[in-house]
């Protein structure tokens, strides 16, 4: 029997052995600065170039459209602030959605933009029309995540992107740009930047079984976007500073592996998710948060009447099962703005927890998790 069951893959995934094997020789040998002219530098620059190529290939982009970053937060900030800087003559209005990650909402705030936050319905959905209706003459950027990190709800980025593009064509404008935070998507959803009609897209390495501290921002060729950082010419001047070569190699190979595994792994996890969801919903006073169908195949977010989410997380941890109360980035006991956006009561929000399955998840894990949760919840109610 496993000593631990890990069901918090939306917060962090373990490092894949394929990624580690690709990284190890690079960590040991490619110490040269990729900007140096000598042999060691050129070797590192070549490794870096191949990372751009492999990451680009995974999302149907060109290698020069990939900017290596230190994570999704970093990438989102660069996307938002760089777009607003480029579009400063046009205005500083941004449209986003109530359930976006704190990185998007925070970046917009820090950039001092005027923001329209489009509400979601009680299942976490938005429609493209309500986004386009919010466009003003001074709108520079629209940012909509591909899949939600707390409730796993998937937005139709292809349709939203197409609708924005049609609006731009009709109005003869290059604005608003369209950014999507796809951090939670690559393991389960196909990403093709042309099909999605995005100008900017964020990827995160630690969500795809890659090393932490890396990620990437896709910036479409010719998109009106301006550099934000001062410094050297690395990443085409878009992200100056000496590159994290081993991290980029790990990210590139993890993302490639994740894309190759996507269909099989999604098909394997879906029945496990259903089993977990149904097993938990059989406990009286339990409700599912977020849409059931348009949802990542690894996400179950539920509220249990009569027990605080944090208490359940702590008790499950003591019983060998790792889950979370929602976004790991919230920290402390700040209530979830995502669940509030669905219209959940404070009690329901405080009693919510998130289970996110991954490559290590087995039927036996699900069986044990349901039994353990049932025991803890019933004991809390009647104990
Ligand atoms: N966006 C989404 C959807 C996420 O799930 C996360 C992390 O959980 C982030 C952004 C921030 O990612 P990072 O911590 O890699 O900066």
**Which residues are near ligand 1 (CB < 6 Å)?**
71-73, 101, 103, 145, 149, 181, 183-184, 204, 206, 215, 328-329
CA distance 232 to 213: 20
Strand residues in 307-360 grouped as ranges (E): 321-322, 352-356
Ligand 1 atom nearest to 328, measured from its CA: 8
Ligand 1 centroid to Cα of residue 148, in Å, is 10
Three-class secondary structure of residue 341 per DSSP: helix
Choose which residue among 107, 157, 183 to substitute to test ligand 1 binding: the one with the highest number of ligand atoms within 8 A of its C-beta: 183
The structure tokens 């479409």 sit at 220
CA distances to 29, 40, 212, 322 from 33, in Å: 12, 7, 21, 39
Ligand 1 centroid to Cα of residue 145, in Å, is 11
Q: Closest residue (by CA) to atom 5 of ligand 1?
A: 149
Q: Tell me the residue length of the chain.
A: 383
Q: Closest residue (by CA) to atom 13 of ligand 1?
A: 72
Q: pLDDT by residue for the chain (383 residues), tens digit each? A: 889 999 999 999 999 999 999 999 999 999 999 999 999 999 999 999 999 999 999 999 999 999 999 999 999 999 999 999 999 999 999 999 999 999 999 999 999 999 999 999 999 999 999 999 999 999 999 999 999 999 999 999 999 999 999 999 999 999 999 999 999 999 999 999 999 999 999 999 999 999 999 999 999 999 999 999 999 999 999 999 999 999 999 999 999 999 999 999 999 999 999 999 999 999 999 999 999 999 999 999 999 998 999 999 999 999 999 999 975 554 556 789 999 999 999 999 999 999 999 999 999 999 999 999 999 999 998 77
- The four Cα atoms 89, 92, 93, 99 give a dihedral, to 10 degrees, of 140
* H helix runs in 188-303, sequence order: 193-196, 245-281
Ligand 1 centroid to Cα of residue 173, in Å, is 31
CB 144 within 8 A of CB 199: no
Ligand 1 atom nearest to 212, measured from its CA: 15
Ligand 1 centroid to Cα of residue 71, in Å, is 8
CB 214 within 8 A of CB 19: no
58 is catalytic: no
Choose which residue among 9, 69, 71, 72 to substitute to test ligand 1 binding: the one with the highest number of ligand atoms within 8 A of its C-beta: 72
Ligand 1 atom nearest to 205, measured from its CA: 15
Ligand 1 centroid to Cα of residue 10, in Å, is 9
């Amino acid at each position: 029997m496993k000593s631990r069951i890990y069901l918090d893959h939306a917060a962090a995934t373990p490092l894949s052995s394929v990624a580690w094997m690709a990284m190890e020789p690079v960590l040991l040998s490619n110490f040269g600065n990729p900007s140096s002219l000598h042999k060691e530098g050129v070797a590192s620059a070549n490794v870096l170039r191949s990372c751009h190529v492999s990451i680009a290939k995974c999302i149907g982009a060109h290698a020069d459209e990939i900017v290596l970053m230190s994570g999704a937060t970093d990438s989102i900030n660069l996307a938002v602030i760089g777009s607003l800087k480029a579009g400063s003559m046009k205005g500083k209005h941004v449209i986003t959605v109530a359930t976006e990650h704190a990185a998007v909402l925070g970046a917009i705030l820090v950039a001092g933009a005027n923001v329209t936050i489009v509400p979601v319905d009680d299942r976490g959905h938005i429609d493209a029309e309500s986004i386009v209706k919010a466009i003003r003459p001074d709108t520079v950027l629209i940012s909509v995540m591909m899949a939600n990190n707390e409730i796993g709800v998937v937005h139709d980025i292809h349709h939203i992107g197409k609708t924005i593009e049609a609006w731009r064509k009709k109005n003869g404008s290059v604005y608003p740009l369209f950014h999507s935070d796809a951090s939670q998507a690559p393991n389960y959803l196909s990403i093709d930047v042309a099909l999605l009609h995005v100008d900017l897209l964020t990827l995160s390495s630690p969500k795809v079984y890659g090393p932490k501290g890396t990620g990437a921002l896709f910036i479409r060729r010719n998109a009106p976007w301006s550099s934000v950082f001062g410094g050297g010419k690395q990443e085409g001047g878009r992200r100056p500073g000496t590159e994290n070569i081993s991290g980029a190699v790990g990210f590139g190979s993890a993302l490639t592996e994740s894309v190759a595994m996507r269909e099989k792994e999604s098909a394997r996890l879906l029945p496990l998710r259903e089993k977990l969801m149904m097993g938990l919903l059989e406990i009286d006073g339990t409700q599912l948060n977020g849409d059931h169908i348009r949802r990542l195949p690894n996400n179950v977010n539920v509220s249990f009447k009569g027990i605080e989410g944090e208490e359940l997380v702590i008790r499950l941890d003591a019983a060998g099962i790792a889950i979370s109360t929602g976004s790991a980035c919230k920290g402390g006991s700040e209530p979830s703005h995502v669940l509030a956006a669905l219209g959940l009561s404070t009690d329901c929000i405080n009693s919510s927890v998130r289970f996110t399955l991954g490559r290590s998840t087995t039927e036996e894990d699900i069986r044990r998790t349901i039994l353990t949760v049932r025991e803890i919840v019933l004991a809390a109610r009647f104990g």
